[in-house]
Amino acid sequence: MSEQNKSIKGGEFLIKESNHNDIFIAENWDEEQKMMRDTCYDFLTAEVHPNLDRIDKMEEGLMPSLLDKAGELGLLGISIPEEYGGFGKDFNSSLLISEATGSGHSFAVALSAHTGIGTLPIMYYGTTAQKSKYLTDLGSGVKKACYCLTEPGSGSDANSGKTKALLSSDGTHYVLNGQKMWITNGGFADIFIVFAKIDDDANLSAFIVEKEFGGISLNPEEEKMGIKGSSTRQVFFNDVKVPVENFLGEREGGFKIALNILNIGRIKLAAAALGAMKTIGSQAINYANERVQFGRSISKYGAIKHKIAEQAIRTYATESALYRTGLNIDQATSALITGGMEDEKAKLAGVEEFAVEAAILKVFGSESLDYVADEGVQIYGGMGFSADAPMDRSYRDSRINRIFEGTNEINRMLIVDMLVKRAMKGKLDLLGPAQAVAKELMSIPDFGAEDDALFSAEGKYLANFKKAALMTAGAAVQKLMMNLGKEQEIVMNISDMIIQVYVAESFFLRVRKLVDQNGEEACAVKIAALKTFINDAADRINTAGKTAINSFAEGDEARMMLMGIKRFTKVAPFNSKNSRRLVADYLIAENKYAL
């Protein structure tokens, strides 16, 4: 591991070249991690997939019993420290578990809500006494948890919640009153992480509330488009007495808790989406091989090959970016612990450092899953629309992911907002590189001889993609200043450019590392997938850049930047049809997603 990579910061990918030897790739899981993953697969095969209809019908006691069984296998305690009965694994390993359970439909949602937003606030912000009291039972599944943040009318503006907590006259407890909605696991949870405002505070505080405290009532289960087996209730708190020792974190620190836990939730959502993508991809390939039309398996037709290949390319791209970020988080955490920071604070700070990448992954992962599920329906044809085939549930269940953990629109705006704020605070030097790109626009383009070394063209393309994003973002910030946040369409265009840059570079670094390990011939299919993704990324970045520039610039300024976008997204002619066919033919022969 190089010193350069040890010091990499969140968002720095835009201005700093990464070394492919420094990233983690999913081909390099160790035997223990593979065993943990396979345990999850076996559990889903034995306990979840045969019972999906029963789960969706909300059969009484079924979901809690599945969480009990998962707890017995240790699947609820992957991140919990060993001293509290967990495994204390690193962040990348926890992402692997989220991926491996991601095809569990409503069960995956219940598991994620329990182990993530339900448990992590106590693990990261709880006192020693709170951890000792709750973490062991949460890690074993003896107690089930949920997270109560959203309220009617609050939505994305979580800090506007009206739930109140008043300290009793004798100072022994808080009296909690309010209403929460869309509470996953609400129907069977024993522990509620509740956000409320004390007195007339401007910001939320957090509390650990036990159902046994009394005063908690629930509305009936919500009827939903998808994830029908996930318990989703409105929760009412009526004069609930919460002991002062169950106050979580600092006063008015609840919003910070919520934001930091959401950062973790975002990247873990991408991991779960990845697991679902792999399963849907395999199902689609298998069906295409079996389904015969006009005397041939439909997998032999070019239109179907295009879909199969593109499903796989987006899946592999998500995986490449996911575990690259996971390692960065683990490295940042380790460096902070080495520097003397407490373990749990360091883990939070490590995730917070890469909050930009977490938001990128949330958006790209959820939208890739939507694409994969939609094309899965199309490959199945009429059967894709039937509840007797698996695509019906996959299609409906995928849709929530663009809303969960902050809508994709909110996350797109956060990506740009976080980068700009880091630049303004001096944490990230975006101004210098953006000015350098602006200066380069005035110079004569470099038409030097092409280097025919493997990946040299793709490396140049990626460097130029970054220039396109920096140029557009820099000009928008300079032109619009404090009004940039009000121009949400422009912000989302810039965010789309940044997302494509990060995912394309992650894909590039992974394949380069694989070629070093296994040779070019063994990686031919993945090289084809990479070249296809980068070719398409050029078009996506070009479109987003042009749309943004035309929205805020005029005259010579606009013409100059549009020339820049054209220059920075120019790629050599490329036969993506043949490249996709190479990918598809490999997968069709394997009869499953096998990248």
Q: pLDDT (tens digit, 9 = 90+) per residue, 145-176?
A: 999 999 987 766 767 788 999 999 999 999 99
Q: How far is CA 292 from CA 295, 297, 301, 383, 593, in A?
A: 6, 4, 11, 13, 20
Rounded to whole angstroms, the Cα distance separating 370 from 33 reads 28
pLDDT at position 77 over 70: yes
Give me the pLDDT at residue 154, please.
74
DSSP category for residue 86: S
Average pLDDT over residues 235-250: 97
Annotate 46-70 with DSSP letters as a single string: IIIGGGHHHHHTT-TTHHHHHHHHH
Q: Which CATH architecture has domain 430-590?
A: Up-down Bundle (1.20)
- Residue given tokens 């169950």 in the structure block: 246
Q: How far is CA 200 from CA 54, 111, 532, in A?
A: 46, 35, 55
Mean pLDDT value across the chain: 94
Q: Collect all residues with Cβ–Cβ distance below 8 Å to 341 and sequence separation of at least 6.
A: 349
Span(s) in the chain for CATH 2.40.110.10: 147-248
CATH topology of domain 147-248: Butyryl-CoA Dehydrogenase, subunit A; domain 2 (2.40.110)
Give me the pLDDT at residue 3, please.
39
Rounded to whole angstroms, the Cα distance separating 219 from 314 reads 39
What is the DSSP pairing of strand 296-297 with strand 145-148? unpaired
User: Could you tell me which residues are beta bridge partners of residue 177?
Assistant: 164
Rg of the chain on CA atoms, in Å:
24
pLDDT at position 452 over 70: no
Beta-carbon neighbour count of residue 392 at 10 Å? 17
**Residue 438 pLDDT level (bands cut at 50, 70, 90):** confident
**Residue 228 pLDDT level (bands cut at 50, 70, 90):** very high
241 or 4: which leads in pLDDT? 241
Give start and end residues of each alpha helix (H) in 425-523: 431-441, 456-480, 488-518
Give me the pLDDT at residue 117, please.
93
pLDDT at position 480 over 50: yes
Give me the pLDDT at residue 13, please.
96
Q: Collect all residues with Cβ–Cβ distance below 8 Å to 190 and sequence separation of at least 6.
A: 143, 144, 145, 210, 211, 212
Which residues are catalytic, by number? 405
Rounded to whole angstroms, the Cα distance separating 103 from 337 reads 34
Span(s) in the chain for CATH 1.10.540.10: 27-144
pLDDT at position 321 over 90: yes
Give me the pLDDT at residue 161, please.
80
Q: What tokens does 202 get?
A: 């401007």
Q: What tokens does 149 get?
A: 């943040």
Torsion angle in degrees (nearest 10) through CA of 65, 70, 72, 78: -150
Give me the pLDDT at residue 440, please.
86
pLDDT at position 179 over 90: yes
| CATH numeric code, 258-410 | 1.20.140.10
Give me the pLDDT at residue 4, please.
39
pLDDT at position 1 over 50: no
Average pLDDT over residues 458-485: 94
Give me the pLDDT at residue 156, please.
64
pLDDT at position 5 over 50: no
Rounded to whole angstroms, the Cα distance separating 274 from 282 reads 12
User: Could you tell me which residues are beta bridge partners of residue 236?
Assistant: 179, 217
Q: Which of 8, 77, 78, 73 is nearest to 44 (CA)?
A: 73
How large a percentage of the chain has pLDDT more than 70? 97
Average pLDDT over residues 589-595: 97
Question: 495 and 540 in contact (C-beta within 8 Å)?
Answer: no
pTM, whole model, 2 decimals? Answer: 0.95
pLDDT at position 446 over 90: no
How large a percentage of the chain has pLDDT more than 90? 89
Average pLDDT over residues 78-96: 95
pLDDT one-digit tens code per residue, 27-58? 999 999 999 999 999 999 999 999 999 999 99
Torsion angle in degrees (nearest 10) through CA of 372, 378, 383, 385: 80
Q: Collect all residues with Cβ–Cβ distance below 8 Å to 546 and sequence separation of at least 6.
A: 562, 565
Q: What tokens does 492 get?
A: 């989302």
Cβ-count burial 315-354 (b if 16+ within 10 Å, e if not): bbbbbbbbbbbbbbbbbbbebbbeeebeeeebbbbbbbbb
Span(s) in the chain for CATH 1.20.140.10: 258-410, 430-590
Superfamily of domain 27-144: Acyl-CoA dehydrogenase/oxidase, N-terminal domain (1.10.540.10)
Give me the pLDDT at residue 482, please.
87
Question: 263 and 350 in contact (C-beta within 8 Å)?
Answer: no
Cβ-count burial 146-183 (b if 16+ within 10 Å, e if not): bbbbbbeebeeebeebebbbeeeeeeebbbbbbbbbbb
- Residue given tokens 């505080």 in the structure block: 205
Handedness of CA 240, 241, 247, 252 (dihedral sign): positive
pLDDT at position 405 over 80: yes
